[in-house]
Amino acid sequence: MKLQNQYQKNEHIFRVLRNQRISDMNNEDEQFQAELELAKNIKIIENVAKSKMSKEAILRYGNLKTVYPEKAVKVIAYIAEAVDSGQIKDMINDEQFKELLKRI
């Protein structure tokens, strides 16, 4: 009887641990999917913004993205929104990009 009770306890612990691991795997998958979606959206925003940026400004953006990724996302989103709304019609050169960085 003792052995059967111990077996049942172990079986219960195993099920709890297995369910927790499955839950963890689902959470990891959801997080991974969210990160993929975010990366996809950032790429779309970058494409819109870069269409109105000079090569030098794009290069500066790439450097910024490497060192300060959060600031880079803010500035590129701002540019993309301005392009979409028609506020930016001409190309943004490197000097203009630097000025924008100072304001953000």
pLDDT of residue 13: 67
Tell me, what's the pLDDT at 20? Answer: 73
**16-62: pLDDT as tens digits:** 667 777 666 666 777 778 788 888 988 999 999 999 999 999 999 99
Domains defined for the chain, CATH in brackets = 2-103 (1.10.8.140)
Residue 50, φ and ψ in degrees, nearest 5: -65, -20
| pLDDT for the residue 35 | 85
Instruction: Note the pTM of the prediction, 2 decimals.
Output: 0.70
